[in-house]
């Protein structure tokens, strides 16, 4: 694919969009050695597995070292398609299930749910997951995107850049928060005990996952849509209680601390209601954010300058004498 819209700064024309979608299907299969790796690794830590498997992809990509614009765009599309395959393949294998090849007629969201669960989602479930993925796709200079940019700005390759990003995403202050949210919701017996725990945590100055944001002082606009999805999917799958508890927690945190829900708060109950295993919530964030990371990396290459902040040293006095180790 030569100059396409994402590289040109305009919306794609019909033929360009069709070609992009086609390539996102064609690039889905992952190299055999990566499947073998997924078969052998410990079952319990999908984000570690994803970070390593994404990094491994570069070893089997014949254009890994080609840093032309076209090659980088192709690698971006491979990464978008294959990150999803890595997550679902790993989950199937760790549960002793057969890997499902996928259906070329399904888009990324529906195919993800199909290759994860073995069931094709109905329209509502597909749309809910598609909206959730879209809402997570990009978000300015969040920590993981910045990490990707820093790596790309050294003119390192795109695989290294997104591997840095995955490492940054997994932390509980960033993408890891969605898993903490669902664990908090599931630990509560009912709404009253949930609120009691919230009050205790706040009085001890312990942070509540899914609340607060470095940039937003109003509601995170993504949370508005995810709240509605959580309610809709929860009703359909019998997990309305999670939505109700979430709503009560949201009101209490707002009242006591003035903090708003962020993207991770309602995505947690939405993913759980869609039947997604808890430890895949953050990997799913990566599946979606891969589009944002790679777009940022391509942009960085287009107009690159090394990102190298200066340190403002505020440590111990700088006039200390050096003392030989035996005399310290």
Ligand X SMILES: CC(C)(COP(=O)(O)OP(=O)(O)OC[C@H]1O[C@@H](n2cnc3c(N)ncnc32)[C@H](O)[C@@H]1OP(=O)(O)O)[C@@H](O)C(=O)NCCC(=O)NCCS
Q: Which positions touch ligand X (CB under 6 A)?
A: 173-174, 177, 205, 207-214, 257, 259, 262-264
Reduced 3-state DSSP string for 150-183: HHHCCCCCHHHHHHHHHHHHCCCCCCCHHHHHHH
Annotated catalytic residue, options 48, 138, 139, 213: 213
Question: Terminus-to-terminus CA distance in the chain, angstroms?
Answer: 64
Residue 214 or 302 having the CB closest to ligand X: 214
Q: How many whole angstroms separate alpha carbon 98 and alpha carbon 185?
A: 32
Whole-number minimum distance, CB 288 to ligand X, in Å? 14
Q: Are the C-beta atoms of 55 and 164 separated by less than 8 Å?
A: no
Catalytic residue list contains 264: yes
Count of Cβ atoms closer than 10 Å to residue 299 Cβ: 15
Q: Are the C-beta atoms of 216 and 262 separated by less than 8 Å?
A: yes
Residue 111 or 288 having the CB closest to ligand X: 288
Whole-number minimum distance, CB 290 to ligand X, in Å? 17
| Nearest of 133, 27, 140, 9 to residue 76 by alpha carbon | 27
Whole-number minimum distance, CB 250 to ligand X, in Å? 12
SS3 105: coil
Q: Are the C-beta atoms of 57 and 159 separated by less than 8 Å?
A: yes
Q: How many whole angstroms separate alpha carbon 73 and alpha carbon 104?
A: 21
Q: How many whole angstroms separate alpha carbon 91 and alpha carbon 279?
A: 10
Q: Which residue, judged by CB position, is nearest to ligand X in the bound state?
A: 212
Residue 263 or 287 having the CB closest to ligand X: 263
Angle at 24 between CA 153 and CA 116, to 5 degrees: 105
Whole-number minimum distance, CB 62 to ligand X, in Å? 37
Residue 72 or 262 having the CB closest to ligand X: 262
Q: How many whole angstroms separate alpha carbon 36 and alpha carbon 14?
A: 38
Annotated catalytic residue, options 122, 264, 296, 312: 264
Whole-number minimum distance, CB 251 to ligand X, in Å? 14
Residue 111 or 262 having the CB closest to ligand X: 262
Q: Which residues are catalytic?
A: 213, 264
């Amino acid at each position: 694919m030569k100059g396409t819209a994402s590289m040109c700064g305009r919306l794609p024309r019909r033929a360009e969009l069709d070609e992009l979608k086609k390539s996102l299907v064609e690039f889905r299969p992952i190299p055999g050695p990566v499947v073998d790796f997924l078969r052998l690794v410990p079952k319990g830590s999908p984000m570690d597995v994803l970070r390593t498997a994404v990094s491994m992809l570069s070893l089997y990509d014949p254009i890994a070292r080609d840093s032309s614009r076209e090659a980088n765009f192709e690698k971006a599309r491979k990464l978008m398609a294959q990150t999803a395959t890595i997550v679902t393949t790993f989950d199937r294998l760790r549960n002793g299930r057969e890997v499902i090849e996928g259906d070329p007629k399904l888009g990324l969201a529906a195919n993800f749910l199909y290759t994860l669960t073995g069931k094709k989602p109905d329209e509502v479930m597909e749309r809910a997951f598609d909206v959730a993925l879209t809402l997570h796709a990009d978000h300015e200079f969040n920590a993981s995107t910045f990490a990707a940019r820093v790596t790309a700005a050294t003119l390192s390759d795109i695989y290294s850049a997104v591997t840095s990003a995955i490492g940054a995403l997994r932390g509980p202050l960033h993408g890891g928060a969605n898993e903490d949210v669902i664990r908090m919701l599931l630990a509560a017996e009912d709404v009253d005990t949930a609120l009691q725990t919230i009050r205790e945590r706040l009085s001890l100055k312990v942070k509540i996952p899914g609340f607060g944001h470095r940039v937003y002082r109003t509601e995170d606009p993504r949370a508005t849509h995810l709240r509605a999805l959580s309610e809709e999917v929860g009703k359909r799958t019998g997990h309305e209680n999670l939505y109700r508890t979430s709503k009560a927690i949201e009101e209490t945190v707002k009242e006591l601390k003035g903090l708003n829900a962020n993207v991770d708060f309602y995505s947690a109950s939405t993913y759980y209601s869609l039947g997604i295993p808890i430890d895949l919530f953050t990997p799913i964030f990566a599946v979606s954010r891969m589009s944002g990371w790679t777009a940022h990396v391509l942009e960085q290459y287009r107009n690159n300058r090394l990102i190298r902040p200066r340190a403002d040293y505020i440590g111990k006095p700088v006039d200390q004498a050096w003392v030989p180790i035996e005399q310290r």
